[in-house]
Amino acid sequence: MNQFRALLIKELKEAIRDRRAFMAAMIMAMLAPVLIYVSSVFAIEEAVEKPDVYIHIRGAESAPDLVEQLAQENIFSATGASDDDLRKWSDRRIELLIPVNYAADMRGGSSVDLVLRADMSDTSLSSPLRRIRNAINDYSRGLGVKRVLLRGIDINLLRPIAVEEQDLSSPNSSAAFINTMLLFYLLFGAFITGLSVAVDTSAGERERNVLEFLLCQPVPTYQVVAAKLLTASCVAVIGVVLTLALTSIAVGFIDLGKVGATFSLSAVTVVLLLLLLIPLCLFASSVHLLLAFQAKTFKEAQSIVSMVIVVPAFIPFALMLMENKPTYLQWLPISGQYLLMEDLLKGLSIEPLSVIAVTLTTVAATFGLFAILARRLQSEKTVLALS
Amino acid sequence: MIEVRSLRKQFGDVVALQDLSFTAEDGQITGLLGPNGAGKTTCLRMLFGLLKPDNGTALVDGIDASADALTTRARIGIFPDKFGSYERLTVTEQVEFFASLQGLAGSEKKQAVTQVIGDLQMNDIADRKSSGFSQGQRMKIALAQALVHRPPNLIMDEPTRGLDVMSTRMLRRHLAELREAGHCILFSSHVMQEVAALCDRIVIVAEGRLAAAGTTEELCALAGETQLEDAFVKLIGTDEGVAA
């Protein structure tokens, strides 16, 4: 126990005193709340406010009422725009083509075909295009209702079926964009914050010629590995806790009321999130250590381990695309934590059995990797690679 | 006492050690001399319990290193071939760390650390982190780490490599003191002058075998030469791979 305590203290001192690596890890954790705050504020502005949109309207003179209706929705003709606004919209060209017979067809009560032309694959145009479509549809619907009314027809005939939507989502799930981002950062944080410490304590120690001397001491290799694993995981847990705490504070500054959403992390949610994340931090660090010990140099270890963090980033995206998720995904490391944390952040209740199951599989996987590592450090192949 | 009996080790097609036997007695400095690639480091790694012999035994105070590596490691002080240091720890913290790994604790550990730091005249650097230290200062840390638990046996792999004259003299002096105190010192090197100046007995290893063993005078007499270097070349049968 005395030996293990010495190993752990030495690893922790080294990790904390490597200021550059430690601060880089912590900045990563602190960056998440900042990014969540900034992107949320932008998303809310986009959803609630109606920034000016400038479009090229051909044939505007034939449809002054329509142009006026669009202007009320802050959609203006580029003809009257300032040079500054024109510059801003120069590479986001939207055209609305109004046919020359528009006025005559309107008078005759016929249907008119307008053309909306833009690069529909450009995501920065999706919001302006949606607003233009809505404005035109509203205007068209209003005209239709007036025409029917003038003919003395009950307007309810126009909508034989009406759908009333009742939102059953919990208040928290309405802040879906924050949940998704936080979830991603927590998973990513578990894998990235302990990375530099794991590489430094394995490949770094070997490159600094201290690993062989350490392996010559009267200490079982499992204690050496355990100290390294706990230290790297400890830094990852600090990163995850920091992300959670700072996100809670940062979200308090976002006016979610504007979109009718709320976001709060109750103490129970935080505890459950940490219960799910701590084993994941251990698992992530054991993966890092195993790969870093395999590498021939410190640089090679850094490159290999950095590539592996693509996995936790990829899994959430893959899960988002799966409509029918197989049950076993709930029990596997990373996917299990992701699915349970998703429900937790939405405010849904989760099965304690699911938490236990995924924790057990993650701990078992970590223990398996730990055992492989402890054996590898005893192997002649590892010893021969030291020189 | 360190005893190597019929050690054999093969890596793939390469035979690193074949039937190597020698003894390093207590109260003596035994030099393990051989050209590069002779199998010295492989032999020492078997004494540390890092490699297992294909045949034969490596004994430290009668304990088989491959059967009970942890016990033998507690009975040896190791001065490794490449001695690095934990640059983010102070000298005292590093020595304390290895003292704890050797099972020392509390006041006993504190006393041992103070003693070894004083013995090696390291008080001026004791509270400094080793980043930026000279090779000589690093050598002292490695030696302190090897000696803090006062092991009966000391195994040194090329200890004077990269050291300046003053550090080498200091190391020699300290080894002489340890010999006087009855420690068994096994000193691996390929530097002839070093071994001749320091060792009571020399074990010459070539191509993984024992080429000869004895005092400097005995080896010279055996080869019919007056200089150890000439005797060494004659005994190993070639001058290929012999470093100055």
Tens-digit pLDDT string for chain A (387 aa): 789 999 999 999 999 998 888 888 888 888 888 888 888 888 777 767 778 889 999 988 889 999 999 999 889 988 877 888 878 777 788 999 999 899 888 888 888 899 999 988 888 888 889 889 999 999 998 888 888 888 888 888 877 887 876 656 555 555 677 778 888 888 888 888 899 999 999 999 888 888 888 999 999 999 999 999 999 999 999 999 998 888 888 887 877 776 666 777 788 888 899 999 999 999 999 999 999 988 888 899 989 888 887 887 788 888 888 878 888 888 899 999 999 998 888 888 888 888 999 999 999 999 999 999 999 988 888 877 776
Q: How far apart are the first and last CA of chain A?
A: 30
Mean pLDDT of chain A: 86
B142 contact residues in A (CB cutoff 8 A): 213
Nearest 10 degrees: CA dihedral of A330, A333, A334, A339? 20
Q: How far apart are CA A136 and CA B67, in angstroms?
A: 86
For helices A310-321 and A298-308, the axis angle rounded to 10 degrees is 10
Q: Would you call A383 and B51 a contact, using CB atoms and an 8 Å cutoff?
A: yes
Q: Quick one: DSSP state of residue B63? A: E
pLDDT tens track for B150-164: 999 999 988 877 777
Mutate to test the interface with A, among B88, B157, B188 (most CBs of A within 10 A): B88
| Chain B nearest CA to A213, separation (Å) | 7
Q: Would you call B86 and A3 a contact, using CB atoms and an 8 Å cutoff?
A: no
Closest-CA residue in chain A for B53?
A: A380
Report the candidate in B161, B190, B186 with the shortest Cα–Cα distance to residue B175: B186
Q: In A, what residues contact B, Cβ < 8 A?
A: 2-3, 5-7, 9-10, 13-14, 17-18, 208-210, 212-213, 215-220, 380, 383-384, 387
For residue B12, give the amino acid letter.
G
Q: Residue B84: how many CA atoms within 13 Å on its side-chain side?
A: 16
Q: Would you call A10 and B78 a contact, using CB atoms and an 8 Å cutoff?
A: no
Q: What is the pLDDT of residue B241?
A: 43
Q: Would you call B85 and A210 a contact, using CB atoms and an 8 Å cutoff?
A: yes
Task: Look up tokens 């240091």; give the residue.
Answer: B85
Mutate to test the interface with B, among A216, A223, A376 (most CBs of B within 10 A): A216
Q: Which residues contact A99 (CB under 8 A, 6 or more apart)?
A: A59, A62, A105, A112, A113, A114
Number of alpha helices (DSSP H) and beta strands (DSSP E) in chain B: 9, 10
Q: Would you call B102 and A217 a contact, using CB atoms and an 8 Å cutoff?
A: yes
Q: Please list, residue by residue across B89-100, b when 16 or more beta carbons sit within 10 angstroms of its beta carbon and e when fewer do.
A: bbbbbbbbbbbb
Q: What is the pLDDT of residue B152?
A: 94
β-strand partners of B76 = B153
Q: Would you call B84 and A209 a contact, using CB atoms and an 8 Å cutoff?
A: yes
- List the structure tokens of B128: 């400094």
Closest-CA residue in chain B for A377?
A: B50
A209 contact residues in B (CB cutoff 8 A): 80, 82-84
Q: Would you call B89 and A14 a contact, using CB atoms and an 8 Å cutoff?
A: yes
| Chain B nearest CA to A277, separation (Å) | 30
| Chain A nearest CA to B87, separation (Å) | 9
pLDDT at B243 > cutoff 60:
no
Q: Which residue has the higher pLDDT, B108 or B220?
A: B108
pLDDT tens track for B20-65: 999 999 999 999 988 888 888 899 999 999 999 999 999 999 999 9
Q: Which residue has the higher pLDDT, B8 or A250?
A: B8
Q: How far apart are CA A118 and CA B229, in angstroms?
A: 88
Confidence category of residue B135, pLDDT binned at 50, 70, 90: confident
Which string of DSSP letters, residue by residue, matches A75-113?
A: EEEGGG--HHHHHHHTTS--EEE--TTHHHHHHTT----
For residue A19, give the amino acid letter.
R
Q: What is the pLDDT of residue B134?
A: 85
Mean pLDDT of chain B: 87
| Chain A nearest CA to B216, separation (Å) | 31
For residue A191, give the amino acid letter.
F
Q: In B, what residues contact A, Cβ < 8 A?
A: 11, 41, 45, 48-52, 69-71, 73-74, 78, 80-89, 93, 96-98, 100-103, 105, 142, 145
- List the structure tokens of A311: 């996995």
Tell me the pairing of strands B153-157 and B76-79. Answer: parallel
CB neighbourhood size of B133 (10 A): 17
Which string of DSSP letters, residue by residue, matches B221-242?
A: HHHT-SSHHHHHHHHHT--TT-
Report the candidate in B2, B47, B49 with the shortest Cα–Cα distance to residue B29: B2
pLDDT tens track for A278-334: 999 999 999 999 999 888 888 999 898 888 878 877 888 888 888 788 888 888 999
Spatial contact of A70 and A93, defined as CB atoms under 8 Å apart:
no
Confidence category of residue B136, pLDDT binned at 50, 70, 90: confident
Q: How far apart are CA A21 and CA B190, in angstroms?
A: 40
Closest-CA residue in chain A for B85?
A: A210
| Element housing B10 (H / E) | strand B2-11
Q: How far apart are CA A149 and CA A66, in angstroms?
A: 20
Q: Select the residue of A13, A213, A216 nearest B89 (Cβ to Cβ).
A: A13
B145 contact residues in A (CB cutoff 8 A): 213
How big is chain A by its Cα radius of gyration, in Å?
29
Mutate to test the interface with B, among A200, A209, A213, A219 (most CBs of B within 10 A): A213
Report the candidate in A288, A284, A365 with the shortest Cα–Cα distance to residue A331: A365
Q: Please list, residue by residue across B9-28, b when 16 or more beta carbons sit within 10 angstroms of its beta carbon and e when fewer do.
A: beeeeeebbbebebbbeeeb
3-class SS string, A214-275: HHCCCCCHHHHHHHHHHHHHHHHHHHHHHHHHHHHHHHHCCCHHHHCCCCCCCHHHHHHHHH
Q: Would you call A14 and B100 a contact, using CB atoms and an 8 Å cutoff?
A: no
Closest-CA residue in chain B for A2?
A: B100
Q: How far apart are CA A187 and CA A175, in angstroms?
A: 19
A9 contact residues in B (CB cutoff 8 A): 97
Q: What is the pLDDT of residue B244?
A: 38
Q: Within B48-105, where are the H helices?
A: 69-74, 91-101
How big is chain B by its Cα radius of gyration, in Å?
18
Closest-CA residue in chain B for A200?
A: B86
Spatial contact of A224 and A215, defined as CB atoms under 8 Å apart:
yes
Q: Would you call B100 and A2 a contact, using CB atoms and an 8 Å cutoff?
A: yes
